[in-house]
Amino acid sequence: MADSTQTVAGPPQAAKKPHSVTHHGLSVSDDYAWLRDPGYPQVTDKEVLAHLEAENRWFEARMADRKDAIDTLFKEMRARIKEADKSVPQKDGDWLYWIEFEEGAEYKKWWRRPVAGGEDQLILDEVALAEGKEYFSLGAISVSKGGTLLAYSFDDNGSERFTARIKNLETGELLPDEIPGTLSSLVWVGDDRGLVYSLANEQWRTDNARLHWLGDPLDKDVELYHESDDGFRVGSSLSSNESWLIIGTSDHETSEARLVRADDPLGEQILVKARSKGVEYDVDEREGVLYIHANDTHENFRLATAPLDNPGEWTTLIEGSDDFYLTGVDLFRDFYVIEGRRAGLDQIEVRHYDDPARVEPIHFPEASYSAGLSNNPEWHMDTLRLSYESMVSPATVYDYDVAARTLETLKVQEIPSGYDASLYTTERLEITARDGTAVPVSVVYRRDRTGAGPLHLYGYGAYGLAIEPGFSISRLSLVDRGFAFAIAHIRGGDDLGRAWYKAGKLEQRTNTFNDFVDVARGLVERGYTAPGKISISGGSAGGELMGAVVNSDPELFGAVVAHVPFVDVLNTMLDESLPLTPGEWPEWGNPIEDRAAFELILSYSPYDQVKRQAYPPIMVTAGLNDPRVTYWEPAKWVARLREFKTDGNELILKTNMGAGHGGKSGRFESLKETAEEFAFILWQLGVEV
């Protein structure tokens, strides 16, 4: 193939336009601040668009010679997907519901049929809704209690502002009701006459819960609750018995909930307990008793109860524990289920209202896995739908018979091109970080792999989000080429409980970056790989992780992929007009008011800490319509890297001009982006496709 870079003279060089910000007497230069379009969220500035398009041309030029590799990877990944596939039907009321993909379809169709027997009914066709659109994402979907109406919302540009519509399932017609700009669930109330939703305000914050009566104009909608704190977000749901509308508001460390009768949504609201900084709780109800999952007495949460008529008086039902991290509680008519993690591994336990000492754990066959409750929509259930997978076991759907305490396998993910689990092995390691903390690492590789070969290391480490050791069909394209694939369960996630999360946020944020680097070094020391043979990836806050570790330890890594990376941390946290910023201060700190927070964020913010040194090959992605990590963060970071780096390694930026935080939509289009990522990694590590 001819050298495709001949048509593009060289990588784009962004203009430097002196600019600085000063806080607490400290000034920080930002010569690429101009890449933020002043009209954002509309991006129309010709100079900005020209620069992004130039970066895209450079990306295409540098990746052009990888086209055959990308096609090969994409075809083998696609061959692992059962194209004509459907979920296991689940009963909800008088109907069985399931979703289905047709051969070659990017999007799914939603079906149901009567439990008593009858015709299959197509209730929502995403394929038709997405036709002719560059991007499509279904948001909320909710069938009314009576089963005759369907509310759904969609986003067709990646901005995550969803338009809600309502469909009459008996006639197939769309009701005239249309609610643009939602960012929420859609909750049926008032005997299916009303719909509760939340609008995204101008700053993309859901500060409200609103009630829409079917047939009324939108200006008649009633605001049930308004949140005055810019850092809090509002969301609504139904209690498990569907008797109560629950309106919750929270930031990253504090929450508050109100209940109102679902059949009388304009009635009196019951405040469960007023917010108290650092206390998170959620609530459900059964027979006049509230069940509250809260971290007020232990950071790993307890389960408490309270009478509905005295909701603030909490009595412990299950104590908080250092050993068991209680992540959630699900109520059913005759029993309840708690989910959590012990030593970082998922646990599911059935408990009984009439016998608190009776604990029935559900046991799974492997030592390392990901498991949880799946779709269990009914109040009265005798069997529980569960999901299960591991790094070597494809996704499995179980039914658990509560009385018999037995698991029945309903479906195992089928891989049409073939998959033999016996060819692979998975391990759970502990690698000691520089401060003596043992960091868990999940690894999968082929049993016939030998020596210190290439290794891909993935991490996230923020917001208390655990990275589960689950299955991936795309990952096999690296593993089958001799890679080990490792997940670093670093501090900042809640993999080992709430303390693990706290140890990677605010003033302890740098633990997250150090853990990742120390895991990489530990994997080298144990003979899994060698410096320079490690590829790494992360997205969003995981992209921040990528930026931090290439600044600190660039020699370790042979290829880096940063997806929609949160790399301009200081400038973003200084701008309270941005959608997420006020709500993010509990996670990162408030550099506007706190000089110590300003100095700490400055010390690790990847954009601000780019230095004159050699960097590994880096591939960066962005979304023009991304409201979470704004497009200019990766664009500015790449511009500064081009200015400072002293090497000749690849640095490419791809901005999706019609997508947002999640990249392209559709199951195959998104797979193409994974194929691009893997082709870049294999290219840079010198591994044949």
Average pLDDT over residues 579-596: 93
Which residues are the active-site residues? 540, 626, 661
Residue 50: both structure tokens together? 């020209």
Mean of pLDDT over the chain: 95
In angstroms, the CA 423 to CA 21 distance is 55
pTM of the predicted model as reported, rounded to 2 decimal places = 0.91
- In DSSP notation, 140-192 reads EEEE-TTSSEEEEEEESSSS--EEEEEEETTT-PEEEEEEEEE-S--EEETTT
Tens digit of each residue's pLDDT (9 = 90 or more) over 224-273 = 999 999 999 999 999 999 999 999 999 989 999 999 999 999 999 999 99
Residue 493 has pLDDT above 90, yes or no: yes
| Residue with the larger pLDDT of the pair 97 and 159 | 97
User: Which of 484, 508, 488, 494 has its CA nearest to residue 439?
Assistant: 488
Percent of the chain clearing pLDDT 90 (strictly above): 91
In angstroms, the CA 645 to CA 460 distance is 25
Residue 138: both structure tokens together? 């279904």
Residue 682 has pLDDT above 90, yes or no: yes
Specify the length of the chain in residues.
689
Q: What is the DSSP letter of 367?
A: S
- In DSSP notation, 39-75 reads TTTS---HHHHHHHHHHHHHHHHHHGGGHHHHHHHHH
Instruction: State the sign of the Cα–Cα–Cα–Cα dihedral 655, 660, 661, 665.
Output: negative
In angstroms, the CA 560 to CA 543 distance is 10
Residue 3 has pLDDT above 60, yes or no: no
> Picking from 112-116, 509-513, 578-582, which range would have the lowest pLDDT averaged per residue?
578-582
Tens digit of each residue's pLDDT (9 = 90 or more) over 341-352 = 999 999 999 999
Instruction: Please report which confidence band the pLDDT of residue 7 belongs to, taking 50, 70 and 90 as the band edges.
Output: low
Tens digit of each residue's pLDDT (9 = 90 or more) over 385-429 = 999 999 999 999 999 999 999 999 999 999 999 999 999 999 999
Q: Return the pLDDT at 668.
A: 87
Average pLDDT over residues 264-287: 98
CB atoms within 10 A of CB 92: 16
Residue 660 has pLDDT above 80, yes or no: no
* C-alpha triplet 296, 598, 662: angle, nearest 5°: 70
Tens digit of each residue's pLDDT (9 = 90 or more) over 520-575 = 999 999 999 999 999 999 999 999 999 999 999 999 999 999 999 999 999 999 99
DSSP element (H, E) containing 407: strand 406-412
Q: What ranges make up the beta strands (E) of 459-574? A: 484-488, 534-539, 557-563
Residue 659 has pLDDT above 70, yes or no: no
CB 453 within 8 A of CB 529: yes
- In DSSP notation, 259-312 reads EEETT-TTS--EESS---TT--EEEEEETTEEEEEE-SS-TT-EEEEEETTSTT
Residue owning tokens 């066709």: 125
C-alpha distance from residue 255 to each of 27, 199, 210, 454 (Å): 35, 19, 19, 44
In angstroms, the CA 378 to CA 40 distance is 44
Give, rounded to a whole angstrom, the gap between the first and last alpha carbons of the chain.
Answer: 16
What class does CATH assign to 4-78+418-685? alpha beta
CB 177 within 8 A of CB 163: no
Q: Return the pLDDT at 666.
A: 76
Phi (first) and psi of residue 516, to 5 degrees: -65, -45
In angstroms, the CA 342 to CA 496 distance is 8
Residues in contact with 146: Cβ distance below 8 Å, sequence separation at least 6, in sequence order: 191, 192
Residue 5 has pLDDT above 60, yes or no: no
Residue owning tokens 């569907």: 242
Helices (H), 357-425: none
User: Which of 518, 594, 511, 606 has its CA nearest to residue 556?
Assistant: 518
CB 260 within 8 A of CB 272: no
Give the relative orientation of helices 46-63 and 667-685 as an angle to the nearest 10 degrees: 60
Instruction: Please report which confidence band the pLDDT of residue 160 belongs to, taking 50, 70 and 90 as the band edges.
Output: confident
Residue 8 has pLDDT above 80, yes or no: no
Residue 6 has pLDDT above 60, yes or no: no
In angstroms, the CA 292 to CA 35 distance is 46
Tens digit of each residue's pLDDT (9 = 90 or more) over 84-123 = 999 999 999 999 999 999 999 999 999 999 999 999 999 9
Identity of the amino acid at 138:
L
Strand order in the sheet with 194-197: 187-189, 194-197, 208-213, 222-226
Give the relative orientation of helices 46-63 and 632-644 as an angle to the nearest 10 degrees: 70
Q: Is 588 exposed, middle or buried (0-12, 13-18, 19+ CB in 10 A)?
A: buried
What 3-state DSSP class applies to 329?
strand
In angstroms, the CA 284 to CA 290 distance is 6
- In DSSP notation, 111-148 reads EEEETT----EEEEEHHHHHTT-S--EEEEEEE-TTSS
Residue 643 has pLDDT above 60, yes or no: yes
Residue 4 has pLDDT above 60, yes or no: no
DSSP element (H, E) containing 546: helix 541-552
Q: What is the DSSP letter of 199?
A: B
In angstroms, the CA 573 to CA 580 distance is 9
In angstroms, the CA 413 to CA 607 distance is 41
